[in-house]
A = this chain, B = another copy of it.
Amino acid sequence: MNVLKYPAKTEWSQIIQRPHLEVTELKKTVETVLDDVRVNGDEAVFRYEAKFDHATLRSLMVSEEELKEADGMVSKDLKESLLLAHHNISRFHENQRFESKHIETAPGVECWQKSVAIEKVGLYIPGGTAPLFSTVLMLATPAKIAGCKEIILCTPPNHDGKVHPAILAAAKIAGVNKIFKIGGIQAIGAMAYGTQSVPKVYKIFGPGNQYVMAAKQMVGIRDVAIDMPAGPSEVCIVADQSSSPSYIAADLLSQAEHGTDSQVLLICISESIVNRVLREIESQLAVLPRRDIASKALNNSKIILVKDLDEAIELSNMYAPEHLILEVDRWNLMVDKIVNAGSVFLGRWACESAGDYASGTNHTLPTHGYAVAYSGVNLDSYVRKITFQHLTEEGVKSIGQAVVTMAVDEQLEAHANAMRIRLNDIE
């Protein structure tokens, strides 16, 4: 890891640069597959499953039998862990329910918002080396709580045309309605446009490789809403002399093992802690199964020494990390100063893994600095707030003349007329 000692603030914007994300090269492939799925539906999806996932499928939807079979293949320990995580995620997201307030903005004018679930949502769960069942819980649990009627999930099958049993178990616990064995661009296309087997959805959630990311971007422009733009996962840890070097090293490594493009940042005010962290990283890394990935990620990563915790938070806010760990005893003095972050972990016991799996917060979070403008997935992500207004005759008297004046000045006479005709009937 690169250690930067007390850099000048003028260098900060350079220090927090993320690696550039380039997806335009993939654009042709992505467009071709999306168009094909839009026009040819299931037939195209089967074809791409054979081509990209090397799976010859007879049907796209996971059957009741497959669900039952999977249930028997998941260990009791894992099942209990999934239930515990689901319970905590449910508790946190249930408490995000919106309570509508009726507001009389002027005499006779009553306005309110109503939270209504998005009727159909699609969740994407990537395949690859490990089955991301935790993401199934994170995306489906709030969808169910919000009241989405159709919650579908697409995930690539293995070469035998099967989906990992833990993904199926998590989907069942969280309340997914239909699961499809579809991966990559073709999954995003199927959910965005609908096919004979796959219902069209209104919003697509979930992580994926650069092809999935590019496909979500493309359908997100016009066809369907998406959760947020994507980028590699990242963590920023703030530490002082009270911090535990071994905990910091473990937390940095837990982020670094995600992928070679992961970025980890340690902002510290104690040089002796930094030196001990470096030694701890070395010894912990040596025994990690994914040490090749993690050590590559560490090469992109930085340790920055700053003069005090205020500067540390200032730099962290500028970076806008997906995950921020305040691994210090005095975290309570710093919480109010955080303005840009996805999810924040407070104190020595709150490691990122806690929130990745089971604390109850969502782990689908804005990466790549998007935290300056985006929230992580939460109950709001699955609803719309429709506004309502009711006017009485008194309401027309309260605001009618102002509406007419403004409409006339905007040269919209028909807008003025719609109010004038009512004003005339009242007077």
Task: Give the interface of A toward B (CB within 8 A).
Answer: 21, 77-78, 80-82, 84-85, 87-88, 91-92, 95-96, 101, 103, 105-106, 109, 111, 113-114, 116, 118-119, 129-134, 166, 202-203, 217, 220-222, 224-225, 229, 246-247, 250-251, 253-254, 256-258, 284, 288-290, 294, 331, 335, 338-362, 370-376, 378, 380, 383-393, 395-396, 399, 401-403, 405-407, 409-419, 421-422
Task: Give the interface centre of A116, A132, A257, A372 by most chain B CB atoms within 10 Å.
Answer: A372
**Which residues in B have their C-beta under 8 angstroms from that of A410?**
130-134
Q: Judge whether B372 and A376 touch: CB under 8 Å.
A: no
Q: Judge whether B81 and A402 touch: CB under 8 Å.
A: yes
Task: From known contacts A360-B389, A376-B387, A407-B353, infer whether A251 and B418 are also in contact, taking CB-CB under 8 Å.
Answer: yes
Other A-B contacts than A246-B421, A353-B419, 15 sampled, CB-CB below 8 A, are A78-B409, A81-B402, A82-B406, A113-B378, A116-B339, A221-B229, A250-B421, A253-B418, A256-B414, A290-B413, A343-B387, A346-B390, A350-B391, A362-B387, A375-B384
A92 to chain B, nearest CB (A): 5
Q: Judge whether B134 and A224 touch: CB under 8 Å.
A: no
**Which residues in B have their C-beta under 8 angstroms from that of A222?**
21, 217, 229
Q: Judge whether A419 and B351 touch: CB under 8 Å.
A: yes
Cα separation A253 to B412 with both chains bound (whole Å):
10
A217 to chain B, nearest CB (A): 5
Task: Give the interface centre of A133, A352, A356 by most chain B CB atoms within 10 Å.
Answer: A356
**Which residues in B have their C-beta under 8 angstroms from that of A114?**
338
A138 to chain B, nearest CB (A): 12
Task: From known contacts A78-B409, A224-B373, A418-B247, infer whether A354 and B387 are also in contact, taking CB-CB under 8 Å.
Answer: no
Cα separation A217 to B35 with both chains bound (whole Å):
20
**Which residues in B have their C-beta under 8 angstroms from that of A203?**
373
Q: Judge whether B81 and A130 touch: CB under 8 Å.
A: no
Q: Can you pick out 18 interface pairs between chain A and chain B where the beta carbons lie within 8 Å of each other?
A: A91-B105, A109-B359, A119-B372, A130-B412, A221-B221, A224-B373, A254-B417, A254-B418, A341-B386, A342-B386, A346-B389, A346-B390, A349-B395, A350-B389, A353-B407, A357-B399, A378-B385, A380-B385
Q: Judge whether A92 and B111 touch: CB under 8 Å.
A: yes
Q: Judge whether B96 and A413 touch: CB under 8 Å.
A: no
Cα separation A225 to B225 with both chains bound (whole Å):
13
A131's nearest neighbour on chain B, judged by CB, is B410
A19 to chain B, nearest CB (A): 14
Task: From known contacts A88-B109, A373-B384, A384-B371, infer whether A254 and B351 are also in contact, taking CB-CB under 8 Å.
Answer: no
Cα separation A118 to B371 with both chains bound (whole Å):
9
**Which residues in B have their C-beta under 8 angstroms from that of A225?**
370, 373-374
